[in-house]
Amino acid sequence: MDQLSAMRAFVRVVETGNFTRAAEALSLPKATVTNLIQGLEAHLHTKLLNRTTRRVMVTTDGALYYERATQIIAQLDELDTSLSNSQMAPSGRLRVEMAGAFADWIVIPALHDFHARFPEIRIDLGVGDRPVDYLAENVDCALRGGVPADQSLIARRVSELSMITCAAPGYLERHGTPQHPLELEDRHHCVSYFMAQNNRTMAFDFERDGEKIEVNGRYLVAVNDARSYLTAALNGLGISPLPHFMAAEALAKGDLVRVLPEWRTEPIALYVVYPPNRHLSNKVRVFVDWLVRLVTNWQLNLPPGRR
C-alpha cells in the first residue's frame, strides 16, 4: 500500500464529503480512491469513515487521523516547495542574532562574501548576548556559544572555542600570580560573566591530569557581553578565562598575561540555532550553510596560538 497516497485520498474525501468529488480532485478513478481508503483502514486496523448511499461521515478515529494527516501532508508539501525552489535566488530580509565578539571577529569581516553570493538578501544583525525570544522578535537564526537553554530550538554544533586564562600585568603586580584555581575564590578577583535570563554568574571549570575543579570566583564586576568582558580584563579588574581568538592580540602585545597555564579550561561549544518553523526557508538555509562553512574555515585557519 502507498500510505502517502492513501493518506492524501482520505484527507480529500473528508474535505469534499464524498468519494466522487475526491476522485475528481485527485484525477483518479473512484474505485482507486475506494481501494486506497480500504487499504488504509486495513493497515490501521480501524474504521476511518462511515459510508452510506448519500454521504460519508468521519469516525472518531478518523477525525483524529485527519487532524494529524493534514499536518504531515502540509509539512511534506512545504518541504517539496522549499527544495524545488532551492535553485531560485533567495531574497528578502534575514534577522540574525549573535554576540558582539562573533560579529566583530568572525561574521562582519566576511559578509562581503555572502553578499556577493546572495545579493538579494538583506541582513538585520542583532548584536549582543541578551536572551532572545526567537518567535516574538521574528529572529531567523543565531550564532551562540554554549548549549541553548531553550530545548525547542534547532541547534547545530559547528565548532568549539578554546579558552585561556589571562590577567592584565597591572592586576598581577597588585595582587600576585595565582598558583591554583581555588585561589580565585578567596585570594583573587575575577571578571565574571552573568546570564541575563537568571542573573546567575557562570562558574569557571578547570582540569589538570584528570582533576576537575569548578570555581565560583570573587568578582568586582560581572558583565553579560563578551567584548565588555575582554575590556574589563584589559583594565585589570580581575582574572578572566577568555576565548583564544579574543585574547590573542592582547597577549601578543603584553596587555594580557597567561596565568594557570597547566590548568585547562573547558572549551565553549559554538552553535547555529534557529526556531523549528524557520529551518525550511531558502534564505535561512543558504545563510546557515554559509555560516557553518565560515566558522569551520575560520577556526581551521587560525594560528595555533589563537585557536
Q: What is the pLDDT of residues 143-198, one digit of tens each?
A: 998 888 777 888 889 888 889 999 999 999 999 999 999 999 988 999 998 876 66
For residue 305, name the pLDDT band (cuts at 50, 70, 90).
very low
- At 257 the pLDDT is 96
Q: What is the pTM of this model?
A: 0.65
Instruction: For CA atoms 263, 264, 266, 271, give the dihedral sign.
Output: positive
92-161+269-306 belongs to CATH 3.40.640.10: no
- Judge whether residue 303 has pLDDT over 60: no
Percent of the chain whose pLDDT exceeds 70? 91
Average pLDDT, stretch 110-117? 94
Separation of alpha carbons 168 and 240, rounded Å: 9
Could you tell me the residue ranges of all domains in the chain?
Answer: 3-84, 92-161+269-306, 163-266
Pick the CATH number of 163-266 from 3.40.50.300, 3.40.190.10, 2.40.50.140, 3.50.50.60: 3.40.190.10
- Count the neighbouring beta carbons within 10 Å of the beta carbon of residue 173: 10
- At 207 the pLDDT is 93
Separation of alpha carbons 259 and 188, rounded Å: 12
Q: What is the pLDDT of residues 221-238, one digit of tens each?
A: 999 888 899 999 999 999
3-84 belongs to CATH 1.10.10.10: yes
Separation of alpha carbons 128 and 110, rounded Å: 19
Whether 155 contacts 273, CB under 8 Å: yes
- Judge whether residue 31 has pLDDT over 80: yes
Q: What is the pLDDT of residues 60-88, one digit of tens each?
A: 998 999 988 888 887 787 677 666 655 56
- At 295 the pLDDT is 86
DSSP H helices in the chain: 3-16, 19-26, 30-44, 60-84, 100-102, 111-117, 169-175, 183-186, 226-234, 244-253, 282-301
- Count the neighbouring beta carbons within 10 Å of the beta carbon of residue 104: 15
Q: 92-161+269-306 and 163-266: same fold? A: yes
Arithmetic mean of pLDDT over the chain: 86
> What are the two backbone dihedrals, phi and then psi, of residue 231, each rounded to the nearest 5 degrees?
-60, -40
Residue 188's SS3 state is coil
- At 95 the pLDDT is 92
- At 266 the pLDDT is 85
- At 307 the pLDDT is 46
